């Protein structure tokens, strides 16, 4: 028994650590919210040397049921904000669309569009595939392989004078990884996010809560916690 259809990544969307994963797509109405902490040098928002970490608060919802939408609010203390405070604030949207369900001969295929609106700190456009390997009734391995491009070269939405500024891209090129689940207790993760190797583990608590702990580039600790529920 695997805990939920696909766990949430360090950025809030369903995936491994920094990389997305299609896998078994969640059921319609499946929702979650949670918190993530990312420290330098792996923060996505950093405007000064005083910025040491990013705090991410996310919420997600599966619709239709082939569309997975995640909203992420990022707080970057130590970076000057547009509201006059010393904390920069950003809101990002992530969308995953299942194109093909996994079958015995074929992997699942998913289209992903990340942070396509506003300032685009997490911008990515990619196709991802996943395949489940069941070693025995207690151990399952989800393998993931994807390719991303940097085709989105402008800011959409209200960005004021920054509309024509360079768009930040990540996940450009080949990336992927695997997650090994042990019953319903948790999992171990390893991934390559196009430029570094990350390692992590998840621990399932009380059937609805999950704690994630990771080492980014095998040397910087980050963590998160989330709560899952269904609206249906």
Decide if pLDDT at 12 tops 70. Answer: yes
Q: Could you tell me if 13 and 94 are in contact, meaning their C-beta atoms sit under 8 angstroms apart?
A: yes
Decide if pLDDT at 221 tops 90. Answer: yes
pLDDT digits (tens, 9 = 90+) for 74-116: 999 999 887 788 999 999 999 999 999 888 888 999 999 999 8
- The pair of structure tokens assigned to 64 is 């239709």
* 162 SS3 class: helix
- The pair of structure tokens assigned to 88 is 């920069």
Nearest to 124 by CA among 27, 221, 193: 193
Q: Mean pLDDT over all residues of the chain?
A: 89
pLDDT digits (tens, 9 = 90+) for 43-85: 999 888 899 999 999 999 998 878 999 999 999 999 988 778 8
As a whole number of angstroms, the distance between CA 80 and CA 77 comes to 8
Question: In the structure, what pLDDT confidence band is assigned to residue 2 with cuts at 50, 70 and 90?
Answer: very low
Decide if pLDDT at 152 tops 90. Answer: no
As a whole number of angstroms, the distance between CA 111 and CA 126 comes to 6
pTM of the full predicted structure? 0.90
* 127 SS3 class: strand
Kindly write down the DSSP assignment for every residue of 63-76, as one continuous string. ETTTEEEEEEEEEE
pLDDT digits (tens, 9 = 90+) for 112-149: 999 988 788 999 999 999 998 988 888 999 999 999 99
How many Cα atoms sit within 13 Å of 98 on the Cβ side? 23
| Residues whose CB falls within 8 Å of the CB of residue 207, separated by 6 or more in sequence, listed in order | none
């Amino acid at each position: 028994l695997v805990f939920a259809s696909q766990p949430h990544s360090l950025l809030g969307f369903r995936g491994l650590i920094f990389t997305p994963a299609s896998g078994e797509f969640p059921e319609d109405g499946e929702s979650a919210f949670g918190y993530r902490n990312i420290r330098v040098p792996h923060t996505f928002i950093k405007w000064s040397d005083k910025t040491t970490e990013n705090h991410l608060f996310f919420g997600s919802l599966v619709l239709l049921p082939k569309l997975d939408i995640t909203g992420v609010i990022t707080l970057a203390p130590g970076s000057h904000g547009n509201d006059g405070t010393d904390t920069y604030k950003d809101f990002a949207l992530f969308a995953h669309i299942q194109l093909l369900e996994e079958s015995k001969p074929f992997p699942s295929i998913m289209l992903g569009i990340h942070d396509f609106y506003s300032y685009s700190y997490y911008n990515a456009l990619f196709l991802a595939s996943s395949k489940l390997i069941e070693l025995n009734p207690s151990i399952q391995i989800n393998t993931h392989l994807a390719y991303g491009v940097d085709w989105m070269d402008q800011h959409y939405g209200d960005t004021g004078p920054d509309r024509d500024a360079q768009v930040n891209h990540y996940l450009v090129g080949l990336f992927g990884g695997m997650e090994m689940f042990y019953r319903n207790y948790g999992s171990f993760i390893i991934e390559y996010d196009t430029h570094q190797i990350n390692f992590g583990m998840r621990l399932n608590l009380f059937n609805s809560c999950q704690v994630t702990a990771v080492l980014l580039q095998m040397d910087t600790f980050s963590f998160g916690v989330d709560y899952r529920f269904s609206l249906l």
